[in-house]
Amino acid sequence: MAKDIASGVKAIEVEAERILADARAKANDILLRARDEARQILAAELPMDEVKASCQEITRRAREEADAELARLEKKASEISADAGKKVDRLADLIVSIVTGAKSA
């Protein structure tokens, strides 16, 4: 039973790590797309002040989007971890009650 609990907690931790890795990958992808867009704007024949302002705005929006996505997924990972802790506590209580004879398996 303890082995099942440990494997369940490990699976939850792996899922949380995967979610964070996905969030980081999305954030990096957003920033790469913003850089590409900024390069395209710089390559175009536009007044430099307008180009710089546009690049800064694109980069700002990309960072905000990446930060928001990362925060959302970190919260989700935290919720998964918290839920795992609650499940472990419930299983521990069940095991104690079975061992003490308060409840039968």
* Residue 63, amino acid: R
62 is a domain residue:
yes
In this prediction the pTM is: 0.48
Per-residue pLDDT of 23-75, as tens digits, reads 889 989 988 998 888 888 778 776 778 878 888 999 999 999 999 999 998 89
Domain count for the chain: 1
The token pair at 56 is 């800064």
State which residues form the domain around 68.
2-100
Report how far residue 99's alpha carbon sits from residue 95's, in angstroms, rounded to the nearest whole number: 6
105 is a domain residue:
no
Report how far residue 53's alpha carbon sits from residue 43's, in angstroms, rounded to the nearest whole number: 14
Q: How many CB atoms lie within 10 A of CB 33?
A: 13
87 is a domain residue:
yes
55 is a domain residue:
yes
35 is a domain residue:
yes
21 is a domain residue:
yes
Locate all alpha helices (DSSP H) within 1-105, ordered by sequence.
Answer: 2-43, 48-100
